[in-house]
Amino acid sequence: MNTGLLLLIPYRWLENRVLSALAAAGFADVTVAQLRIVQLVGPHGTRLTELAAQAQVTKQTAGFLVDQLEKAGWVERVPDPSDRRARLVRVAERGRAAIPVATAAVAEVEAEWTAHLGEARMTELRRTLADLRDLTDQAPQPH
């Protein structure tokens, strides 16, 4: 199995655990694709074009997902204070209410991984992935 899949499989598992925890807490109205967009929204908001680029989807796809999230109260569109012609996507009340549930689910999964791997291996895994991110964040994105 290639390294990319070895990275993807545990992430998808974590993602499913977060979705399950959200559903159990009354936040069953979000899909995996929508959740991927919500988690990319910065603390002060993010432009749609930046969300699309970070999610590696078209602007139309990102716009469609944001429209759905906005209708469900997860995000809102607000004027960009640095450019009044532009709009920012910002996490709204429902999204903010879901954050502690998602954060707790991630912490639970990471605790399970640490129990399985041991503290030293988990620390090394995180360090290695952070080092890899230094490279991947600088790499041009394929089209």
Q: What integer pLDDT is reported at residue 13 of this predicted model? A: 96
Domain interval for residue 78: 3-136
Q: Give how many domains the chain has, as a whole number.
A: 1
The answer to whether residue 94 is domain-embedded is yes
The answer to whether residue 89 is domain-embedded is yes
pTM of the model: 0.86
Give kind and range of the element (H or E) at residue 3. Answer: helix 3-24
Q: What is the CATH number of the domain that holds 62?
A: 1.10.10.10
Nearest to 65 by CA among 103, 100, 39: 39
The answer to whether residue 91 is domain-embedded is yes
Residue range 15-34: mean pLDDT, rounded: 96
The answer to whether residue 142 is domain-embedded is no
Q: What integer pLDDT is reported at residue 136 of this predicted model? A: 81
Rounded Cα distance, 139 and 89, in Å: 26
Per-residue pLDDT tens over the stretch 99-139 = 999 999 999 999 999 999 999 999 999 999 999 988 887 75
Alpha-carbon dihedral sign for residues 8, 52, 98, 33: negative
